[in-house]
Amino acid sequence: MKTDSAHGYWNDQWGTSDATSKWAVPEPEVTAHAATLQPGARVLDLGAGIGRHALALARMGNRVTAFDAAPASVAAIRSAAAGLGVEVVQGMMTDLPFADATFDHVLSWNVIYHGDGDVVARSIAEIARVLRPGGTFMGTMLSARRLPVERARAPGREIARNTWVFEGPGDKVHPHYFCDARDLLALFAGFEVLSLVDREHENPGSWHWHLLAERLA
């Protein structure tokens, strides 16, 4: 089974989303950290969707690259970002087309858990590679605390360690990686963790790890 296929589902979502969508509203946690960056910081928004964070961070004076695998995402951001100087790039998160130590900050909100453990580990390795030593990463991961909720909602099966697919509508027909704190810390072994919180999102039982970490030298 191909395990990095969720962008096909999200391509359809981005093709029908606009400025009134919840996916157009930046997370306050993201913009609060961005306000601490040096002026003109190089920022990568990995899995940028329709640009809610890329656009907001560009307006704050950062030099932003918006990256996504979905063609509809790339088209939406290019249209919305006119005049903001946002670089828009299409590709896969396991093979980032950027030089080592390009970015001061990498953001990946609700993205890098779309795949099995190998996809997740390769994506994090790429994040570490393109992030300068001392640069920061902010992102979310699916919490293992959420797994019983998903299993109660729909039949599912574990196709690899910590990797599940579920029946029914939605993106979880594609592989998703659920982790506990030990697994997450092991994946980010090349980082110093500055903040780690298991937080419930707007839907009951929607537990996500919120991580802020600094790339070690």
So what's the pLDDT on residue 33? 97
pLDDT digit string, tens, across residues 75-89: 999 999 999 999 999
**Position 179 in a domain:** yes
**Position 87 in a domain:** yes
d(CA 17, CA 19): 7
Counting Cα atoms < 13 Å in the Cβ hemisphere of 72 gives 13
Domain extent for 211: 6-18+29-215
pTM: 0.96
CATH code for the domain of 93 = 3.40.50.150
Question: Rounded to an integer, what is the distance from CA 48 to the centroid of its chain?
Answer: 8
So what's the pLDDT on residue 1? 60
Question: Under DSSP, is residue 96 helix (H, G, I), strand (E, B) or coil?
Answer: coil
Length of the chain: 217
**Position 24 in a domain:** no
**Position 1 in a domain:** no
d(CA 32, CA 28): 6
Of 126, 79, 77, which is closest to residue 103 (Cα–Cα)?
126
Helix ranges (DSSP H) in the chain: 6-15, 28-34, 52-59, 71-80, 117-130, 147-153, 181-187
* Total of domains in the chain: 1
So what's the pLDDT on residue 2? 67
Which residues in 39-61 are b (16+ Cβ under 10 Å) and which e?
A: eebbbbbbbbbbbbbbbbbbeee
d(CA 126, CA 152): 34
What residues in the chain have per-residue pLDDT under 50? none
